A and B are shown apart, each in its own frame.
Chain A
Amino acid sequence: MSWYVMGVDLGSTTAKVAIVDDQGAMVGSKIVQMGAVSQEAVRVAMEAALMDARIHQSDIVRTISTGYGRKLVPTDKTFTEITCHARGAAALFPGVRLVIDIGGQDSKAIAVDQDGLVDRFAMNDRCASGTGRFFDVLSRALEVPVTDVGALALEGSDGLEVSSMCATFAETEVISLLAQGAEKDDIAASVHKAVAARTVGLVAQVGKASPVVMTGGVAKNKALVHFLSEALRLPIEMLDEPQIAGAYGAAIIAREEYLGNMASGVADVTTERELGAALSAVAVPHCAECATGHLDGHTHGRAISVTIGKRPMADLPGPVA
Chain B
Amino acid sequence: MSLEAPSREPLELLTTHDRTLDAPDKSNRLSSTKTGGKMVADYWENIFTAKERGKHVVWYNGTALNPIFQAAGLEWCHGEAFSARLAAMHLEGPAQAAGEEYGYIGELCSYARTHLGCAVMTQKGITEKQNGIVGMVDQEELASKLPSPDFFVNAYAGCSTGQQWDAMTYRVFGKEFPIFNVSLPMIWGNKKDAGYLRGSEWEKTPLYVEEQLKKLIEFIEYQTKKTFDWDALSENMYYIKRASELRLEAMALCAAAPTPATYWDWVASIAPINFMPANQALVDYFQGVKDEIQYRLDNKISAVQNEKYRVYFDGIMNWNKLGWLTRKFAEYDVAVVAGRYTHDSFWQEPQLIDLDRPLLGMAQHYLICPINHGLKIMEELLIKRCDEYGIDGIAFHSTRTCRAMTNPQHILARTAETERGIKSFFFEGDVADAAFYKDESLESGLVAMLESIDQQRARALV
Residues of A within 8 A of B (CB): 29-41, 44, 69, 71-72, 79-83, 115, 117-123, 125-126, 205, 207, 241, 244, 261-262, 267, 270-273, 275-277, 279-280, 283-287, 290, 293, 295-300, 302-306, 308-311, 313-314, 316-319
Residues on B with beta carbons closer than 8 Å to the beta carbon of A314: 460
The answer on a CB contact under 8 Å between A317 and B457 is: yes
Is the contact region of chain B dominated by helix, strand, or loop, or is it mixed? helix
Residues on A with beta carbons closer than 8 Å to the beta carbon of B134: none
CA distance in complex: A31, B1 (Å)? 7
18 other A-B residue contacts (CB within 8 Å) besides A205-B426, A295-B253, A300-B390: A32-B3, A32-B4, A33-B5, A36-B10, A37-B13, A39-B11, A40-B6, A69-B11, A72-B11, A118-B452, A270-B462, A272-B451, A285-B257, A286-B258, A293-B297, A296-B249, A305-B387, A308-B419
Given contacts A44-B6, A118-B452, A285-B390, contact A313 B459 (CB under 8 A): yes
Given contacts A29-B1, A279-B461, A304-B388, contact A290 B256 (CB under 8 A): yes
B456 within 8 A of A: yes
Nearest 10 CB-CB pairings of A with B: A276-B454, A297-B252, A82-B448, A40-B9, A80-B448, A295-B256, A44-B6, A275-B458, A300-B390, A83-B451
Residues on A with beta carbons closer than 8 Å to the beta carbon of B256: 290, 295, 298
B70 within 8 A of A: no
Residues of B within 8 A of A (CB): 1, 3-11, 13-14, 19, 249, 252-253, 255-258, 297, 306-308, 310, 333, 379-380, 383-384, 387-390, 392, 398, 410, 413-415, 417-421, 423-426, 428, 436, 438, 441, 444-445, 447-448, 450-462
Residues on A with beta carbons closer than 8 Å to the beta carbon of B410: 205
The residue that B6 contacts in the complex, of A41, A277, A286, with Cβ under 8 A, is: A41
The answer on a CB contact under 8 Å between A126 and B387 is: no
Residue of A nearest to B252 (CB): A297
Given contacts A72-B14, A79-B451, contact A115 B387 (CB under 8 A): no
CA distance in complex: A273, B447 (Å)? 10
Can you list 7 A-B contacts (CB < 8 A)? Answer: A32-B6, A38-B8, A44-B4, A72-B11, A290-B256, A308-B380, A311-B419
CA distance in complex: A286, B255 (Å)? 11
Residues on B with beta carbons closer than 8 Å to the beta carbon of A296: 249, 252-253, 255
CA distance in complex: A161, B10 (Å)? 37
Residue of B nearest to A204 (CB): B410
Residues on B with beta carbons closer than 8 Å to the beta carbon of A284: 257-258, 307-308
The answer on a CB contact under 8 Å between A122 and B383 is: no
CA distance in complex: A286, B306 (Å)? 11
CA distance in complex: A72, B10 (Å)? 11
The residue that B458 contacts in the complex, of A36, A80, A126, A270, with Cβ under 8 A, is: A270
How far is the CB of A94 from the nearest CB of chain B, in Å? 17
The answer on a CB contact under 8 Å between B11 and A37 is: yes
Given contacts A71-B14, A285-B257, contact A40 B7 (CB under 8 A): yes
CA distance in complex: A207, B417 (Å)? 12
The answer on a CB contact under 8 Å between A318 and B457 is: yes
| Most A-side CB within 10 Å, residue of B3, B11, B418, B425 | B11
Residues on A with beta carbons closer than 8 Å to the beta carbon of B307: 284
CA distance in complex: A313, B420 (Å)? 9
The answer on a CB contact under 8 Å between B452 and A311 is: no
Residues on A with beta carbons closer than 8 Å to the beta carbon of B9: 38-40
| Most A-side CB within 10 Å, residue of B9, B379, B445 | B9
The answer on a CB contact under 8 Å between A299 and B387 is: yes
The answer on a CB contact under 8 Å between A309 and B453 is: no
How far is the CB of B203 from the nearest CB of chain A, in Å? 20
The answer on a CB contact under 8 Å between B448 and A83 is: yes
Residue of B nearest to A253 (CB): B451
CA distance in complex: A235, B453 (Å)? 30
The answer on a CB contact under 8 Å between B454 and A275 is: yes
CA distance in complex: A123, B256 (Å)? 33
Residues on A with beta carbons closer than 8 Å to the beta carbon of B4: 32-33, 44
The answer on a CB contact under 8 Å between B255 and A297 is: yes
Residues on B with beta carbons closer than 8 Å to the beta carbon of A31: 1, 3
The answer on a CB contact under 8 Å between B428 and A125 is: yes
The answer on a CB contact under 8 Å between B461 and A283 is: yes
CA distance in complex: A117, B413 (Å)? 18
Given contacts A33-B3, A316-B460, contact A300 B380 (CB under 8 A): no
Residue of A nearest to B333 (CB): A280
How far is the CB of B233 from the nearest CB of chain A, in Å? 31
Given contacts A33-B5, A275-B458, contact A80 B447 (CB under 8 A): yes
Residue of B nearest to A261 (CB): B462
Residue of B nearest to A268 (CB): B462
Given contacts A34-B6, A295-B256, A313-B459, contact A285 B310 (CB under 8 A): yes
Given contacts A126-B428, A297-B255, A317-B390, contact A283 B457 (CB under 8 A): yes
Residue of A nearest to B390 (CB): A300
Residue of A nearest to B379 (CB): A308
